[in-house]
Protein backbone atom coordinates (compact mmCIF):
# COMPACT_ATOMS: atom_id res chain seq x y z
CA UNK A 1 0.00 0.00 0.00
CA UNK A 2 1.08 3.56 -0.62
CA UNK A 3 1.55 6.22 2.07
CA UNK A 4 -1.80 7.82 1.17
CA UNK A 5 -3.66 4.49 1.28
CA UNK A 6 -2.28 3.75 4.74
CA UNK A 7 -3.18 7.28 5.87
CA UNK A 8 -6.79 6.65 4.87
CA UNK A 9 -6.88 3.56 7.10
CA UNK A 10 -5.56 5.24 10.25
CA UNK A 11 -9.05 6.13 11.50
CA UNK A 12 -10.02 2.44 11.46
CA UNK A 13 -6.66 1.45 12.93
CA UNK A 14 -7.03 4.00 15.78
CA UNK A 15 -10.41 2.52 16.77
CA UNK A 16 -9.02 -1.05 16.64
CA UNK A 17 -11.64 -2.02 14.06
CA UNK A 18 -9.93 -5.34 13.40
CA UNK A 19 -12.66 -6.67 11.11
CA UNK A 20 -11.91 -3.91 8.58
CA UNK A 21 -8.22 -4.90 8.18
CA UNK A 22 -6.85 -8.36 7.60
CA UNK A 23 -3.64 -9.52 9.31
CA UNK A 24 -1.38 -8.68 6.35
CA UNK A 25 -2.80 -5.17 5.99
CA UNK A 26 -2.53 -4.53 9.70
CA UNK A 27 1.10 -5.67 9.66
CA UNK A 28 1.78 -3.39 6.71
CA UNK A 29 0.28 -0.43 8.66
CA UNK A 30 2.41 -1.38 11.70
CA UNK A 31 5.58 -1.45 9.58
CA UNK A 32 4.73 1.88 7.97
CA UNK A 33 4.04 3.57 11.33
CA UNK A 34 7.44 2.47 12.61
CA UNK A 35 9.14 4.56 9.93
CA UNK A 36 6.66 7.43 9.36
CA UNK A 37 6.43 10.13 12.08
CA UNK A 38 3.70 11.99 10.17
CA UNK A 39 1.35 9.00 10.25
CA UNK A 40 2.20 8.32 13.88
CA UNK A 41 1.18 11.90 14.73
CA UNK A 42 -2.06 11.54 12.77
CA UNK A 43 -2.81 8.25 14.53
CA UNK A 44 -2.25 9.92 17.91
CA UNK A 45 -4.72 12.67 16.96
CA UNK A 46 -7.38 10.09 16.03
CA UNK A 47 -6.90 8.33 19.35
CA UNK A 48 -7.10 11.58 21.34
CA UNK A 49 -10.45 12.43 19.77
CA UNK A 50 -11.74 8.90 20.34
CA UNK A 51 -10.69 9.08 24.00
CA UNK A 52 -12.45 12.42 24.50
CA UNK A 53 -15.66 11.10 22.97
CA UNK A 54 -15.51 7.94 25.06
CA UNK A 55 -15.03 9.60 28.44
CA UNK A 56 -18.12 10.92 30.32
CA UNK A 57 -18.19 14.61 31.12
CA UNK A 58 -18.62 15.38 34.84
CA UNK A 59 -19.98 18.45 36.56
CA UNK A 60 -17.37 20.70 34.97
CA UNK A 61 -17.13 20.60 31.17
CA UNK A 62 -13.96 18.97 29.85
CA UNK A 63 -11.82 21.05 27.51
CA UNK A 64 -9.94 19.34 24.71
CA UNK A 65 -6.28 20.32 24.19
CA UNK A 66 -5.82 23.10 21.64
CA UNK A 67 -3.64 20.93 19.43
CA UNK A 68 -6.48 18.42 19.01
CA UNK A 69 -8.82 21.08 17.58
CA UNK A 70 -5.96 22.39 15.38
CA UNK A 71 -5.53 18.95 13.86
CA UNK A 72 -9.30 18.58 13.38
CA UNK A 73 -9.47 21.94 11.60
CA UNK A 74 -6.51 21.01 9.40
CA UNK A 75 -8.12 17.70 8.46
CA UNK A 76 -11.24 19.52 7.22
CA UNK A 77 -9.10 21.32 4.63
CA UNK A 78 -7.86 18.08 3.05
CA UNK A 79 -9.44 16.94 -0.21
CA UNK A 80 -11.09 13.50 0.31
CA UNK A 81 -10.06 10.86 -2.23
CA UNK A 82 -12.40 9.93 -5.07
CA UNK A 83 -14.72 7.04 -4.23
CA UNK A 84 -15.51 5.75 -7.70
CA UNK A 85 -14.39 2.10 -7.45
CA UNK A 86 -16.23 -0.63 -5.59
CA UNK A 87 -13.27 -2.98 -5.14
CA UNK A 88 -12.50 -4.39 -1.67
CA UNK A 89 -9.51 -2.07 -0.99
CA UNK A 90 -11.58 0.99 -1.95
CA UNK A 91 -14.39 -0.20 0.35
CA UNK A 92 -11.90 -0.19 3.19
CA UNK A 93 -10.73 3.28 2.23
CA UNK A 94 -14.34 4.48 2.30
CA UNK A 95 -14.75 3.01 5.77
CA UNK A 96 -11.47 4.53 6.91
CA UNK A 97 -12.55 7.92 5.55
CA UNK A 98 -15.99 7.77 7.19
CA UNK A 99 -14.54 7.02 10.62
CA UNK A 100 -12.27 10.09 10.91
CA UNK A 101 -14.92 12.35 9.39
CA UNK A 102 -17.42 10.96 11.92
CA UNK A 103 -14.94 11.69 14.69
CA UNK A 104 -14.53 15.23 13.37
CA UNK A 105 -18.32 15.74 13.36
CA UNK A 106 -18.60 14.34 16.87
CA UNK A 107 -15.73 16.55 17.96
CA UNK A 108 -17.51 19.60 16.59
CA UNK A 109 -20.70 18.56 18.39
CA UNK A 110 -18.66 18.28 21.58
CA UNK A 111 -17.34 21.79 21.02
CA UNK A 112 -20.88 23.13 20.58
CA UNK A 113 -21.86 21.36 23.80
CA UNK A 114 -18.99 22.97 25.70
CA UNK A 115 -19.97 26.40 24.38
CA UNK A 116 -23.59 25.78 25.38
CA UNK A 117 -22.44 24.90 28.90
CA UNK A 118 -20.49 28.16 29.08
CA UNK A 119 -23.57 30.09 27.91
CA UNK A 120 -25.63 28.29 30.56
CA UNK A 121 -23.13 29.27 33.26
CA UNK A 122 -23.24 32.87 32.04
CA UNK A 123 -27.04 32.80 32.26
CA UNK A 124 -26.83 31.58 35.84
CA UNK A 125 -24.45 34.42 36.69
CA UNK A 126 -26.82 36.97 35.15
CA UNK A 127 -29.75 35.55 37.13
CA UNK A 128 -27.67 35.68 40.30
CA UNK A 129 -26.85 39.34 39.70
CA UNK A 130 -30.52 40.14 39.11
CA UNK A 131 -31.41 38.32 42.31
CA UNK A 132 -28.80 40.27 44.29
CA UNK A 133 -30.14 43.50 42.81
CA UNK A 134 -33.66 42.56 43.99
CA UNK A 135 -32.43 41.93 47.54
CA UNK A 136 -30.49 45.21 47.50
CA UNK A 137 -33.56 47.12 46.30
CA UNK A 138 -35.55 45.83 49.28
CA UNK A 139 -32.77 46.75 51.72
CA UNK A 140 -32.55 50.27 50.26
CA UNK A 141 -36.31 50.77 50.48
CA UNK A 142 -36.94 52.77 53.71
CA UNK A 143 -40.29 51.03 54.15
CA UNK A 144 -38.79 47.57 54.56
CA UNK A 145 -39.09 45.74 57.90
CA UNK A 146 -36.59 43.30 59.40
CA UNK A 147 -37.56 40.12 61.21
CA UNK A 148 -34.97 38.08 63.11
CA UNK A 149 -35.49 34.33 63.26
CA UNK A 150 -33.51 32.59 66.02
CA UNK A 151 -33.35 29.25 67.78
CA UNK A 152 -34.26 28.86 71.44
CA UNK A 153 -31.59 26.23 72.18
CA UNK A 154 -27.84 25.88 71.75
CA UNK A 155 -26.26 26.08 69.24
CA UNK A 156 -27.96 29.32 68.26
CA UNK A 157 -29.09 29.33 64.62
CA UNK A 158 -30.16 32.58 63.00
CA UNK A 159 -31.77 33.95 59.86
CA UNK A 160 -32.97 37.40 58.86
CA UNK A 161 -36.05 38.19 56.80
CA UNK A 162 -36.47 41.55 55.06
CA UNK A 163 -40.03 42.39 54.01
CA UNK A 164 -41.73 45.23 52.14
CA UNK A 165 -45.25 46.44 53.03
CA UNK A 166 -46.63 44.52 50.02
CA UNK A 167 -45.40 41.25 51.55
CA UNK A 168 -42.45 40.72 49.18
CA UNK A 169 -39.36 39.62 51.08
CA UNK A 170 -36.09 37.71 51.14
CA UNK A 171 -34.24 35.50 53.59
CA UNK A 172 -30.70 36.78 54.15
CA UNK A 173 -27.67 36.04 56.34
CA UNK A 174 -28.79 32.57 57.45
CA UNK A 175 -26.59 30.74 59.96
CA UNK A 176 -28.08 27.27 59.76
CA UNK A 177 -26.91 23.66 60.27
CA UNK A 178 -25.59 21.62 57.36
CA UNK A 179 -28.19 19.30 55.88
CA UNK A 180 -27.98 15.78 54.50
CA UNK A 181 -28.32 15.46 50.72
CA UNK A 182 -31.85 14.09 51.25
CA UNK A 183 -33.06 17.20 53.13
CA UNK A 184 -34.11 20.77 52.45
CA UNK A 185 -34.99 23.75 54.61
CA UNK A 186 -38.70 24.60 54.57
CA UNK A 187 -40.33 27.88 55.56
CA UNK A 188 -43.57 27.94 57.56
CA UNK A 189 -45.91 30.62 58.87
CA UNK A 190 -48.68 30.75 61.45
CA UNK A 191 -51.77 32.26 59.89
CA UNK A 192 -55.07 32.50 61.80
CA UNK A 193 -53.74 29.98 64.27
CA UNK A 194 -52.77 27.40 61.62
CA UNK A 195 -49.33 26.38 60.35
CA UNK A 196 -48.99 26.86 56.57
CA UNK A 197 -46.08 26.13 54.27
CA UNK A 198 -44.43 29.02 52.42
CA UNK A 199 -42.27 26.68 50.36
CA UNK A 200 -38.92 24.90 50.38
CA UNK A 201 -35.70 26.93 50.59
CA UNK A 202 -33.10 24.38 49.49
CA UNK A 203 -29.98 23.50 51.45
CA UNK A 204 -28.44 26.97 51.02
CA UNK A 205 -31.29 29.45 51.60
CA UNK A 206 -29.31 32.68 51.26
CA UNK A 207 -31.44 35.19 49.33
CA UNK A 208 -34.46 32.89 49.09
CA UNK A 209 -37.54 34.94 48.08
CA UNK A 210 -40.62 34.72 50.31
CA UNK A 211 -44.16 36.09 50.32
CA UNK A 212 -45.85 37.15 53.56
CA UNK A 213 -49.60 37.72 53.93
CA UNK A 214 -51.19 40.20 56.40
CA UNK A 215 -52.78 37.35 58.38
CA UNK A 216 -49.39 35.76 59.19
CA UNK A 217 -47.93 36.36 62.65
CA UNK A 218 -44.93 34.00 62.94
CA UNK A 219 -42.27 32.64 60.55
CA UNK A 220 -40.45 29.35 61.18
CA UNK A 221 -37.83 27.21 59.42
CA UNK A 222 -37.16 23.51 59.86
CA UNK A 223 -35.51 20.69 57.87
CA UNK A 224 -37.72 18.37 55.83
CA UNK A 225 -37.19 15.65 53.17
CA UNK A 226 -36.46 16.90 49.65
CA UNK A 227 -39.57 18.29 48.02
CA UNK A 228 -41.01 19.44 51.34
CA UNK A 229 -44.00 18.23 53.33
CA UNK A 230 -47.57 19.58 53.77
CA UNK A 231 -47.13 19.79 57.55
CA UNK A 232 -44.00 20.03 59.74
CA UNK A 233 -42.45 16.67 60.64
CA UNK A 234 -39.30 17.87 62.46
CA UNK A 235 -38.57 20.40 65.21
CA UNK A 236 -38.39 24.11 64.37
CA UNK A 237 -34.82 25.36 63.93
CA UNK A 238 -35.50 29.11 64.00
CA UNK A 239 -38.60 31.25 64.45
CA UNK A 240 -39.55 34.93 64.73
CA UNK A 241 -42.65 37.09 65.14
CA UNK A 242 -43.86 39.30 62.31
CA UNK A 243 -44.65 42.97 62.98
CA UNK A 244 -48.33 43.63 63.58
CA UNK A 245 -50.09 45.02 60.53
CA UNK A 246 -47.33 44.11 58.08
Whether the Cβ atoms of residue 21 and residue 78 lie closer than 8 Å to each other: no
Residue 86: predicted pLDDT: 42
Q: Exposure string (b/e) for 21-31, b if CB count within 10 Å is 16 or more?
A: beeebeebbee
Query: Among residues 103, 119, 135, which one ends one of the domains?
Result: 119
Give the domain range for residue 213.
145-241
Residue 129 maps to a domain: no
The residues of the chain scoring below 70 in pLDDT are: 15-21, 45-131, 245-246
**CA dist., res. 94 & res. 92, Å (int):** 5
Q: Are residues 109 and 160 in the same domain?
A: no
Residue 127 maps to a domain: no
Which residues neighbour 196 within 8 Å (Cβ) at sequence distance 6 or greater? 188, 189, 190, 216
Q: Are residues 8 and 59 in the same domain?
A: yes
Residue 185: predicted pLDDT: 96
Whether the Cβ atoms of residue 206 and residue 112 lie closer than 8 Å to each other: no
Q: Model confidence over 100-123: pLDDT tens digits?
A: 555 555 555 655 565 555 555 555
Q: Are residues 17 and 112 in the same domain?
A: yes
Query: Among residues 104, 119, 134, which one ends one of the domains?
Result: 119
The number of domains in the chain is 2
Q: Is the pTM of this model over 0.85?
A: no
Q: Are residues 150 and 209 in the same domain?
A: yes
**CA dist., res. 100 & res. 246, Å (int):** 68
Q: Where are the alpha helices (DSSP H) in the chain?
A: 3-14, 23-35, 37-54, 66-76, 88-140
Q: Are residues 41 and 115 in the same domain?
A: yes
Q: Are residues 66 and 174 in the same domain?
A: no
Q: Are residues 39 and 99 in the same domain?
A: yes
Residue 211: predicted pLDDT: 93
155 preceded by cis ω (within 30°)?
A: yes
Residue 57: predicted pLDDT: 43
Whether the Cβ atoms of residue 14 and residue 52 lie closer than 8 Å to each other: no
Which residues neighbour 29 within 8 Å (Cβ) at sequence distance 6 or greater? 1, 6, 9, 10, 13, 21
Q: Model confidence over 157-170: pLDDT tens digits?
A: 999 999 999 999 99
Residue 60: predicted pLDDT: 46
Amino acid sequence: MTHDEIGEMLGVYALDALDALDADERQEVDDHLASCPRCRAELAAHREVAALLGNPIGDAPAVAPDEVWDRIAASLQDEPPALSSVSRPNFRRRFALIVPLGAVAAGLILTVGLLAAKVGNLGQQVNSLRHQASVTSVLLNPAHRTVELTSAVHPVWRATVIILPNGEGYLINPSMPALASSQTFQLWAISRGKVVSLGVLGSHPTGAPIRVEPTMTVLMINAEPLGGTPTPTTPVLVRGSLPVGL
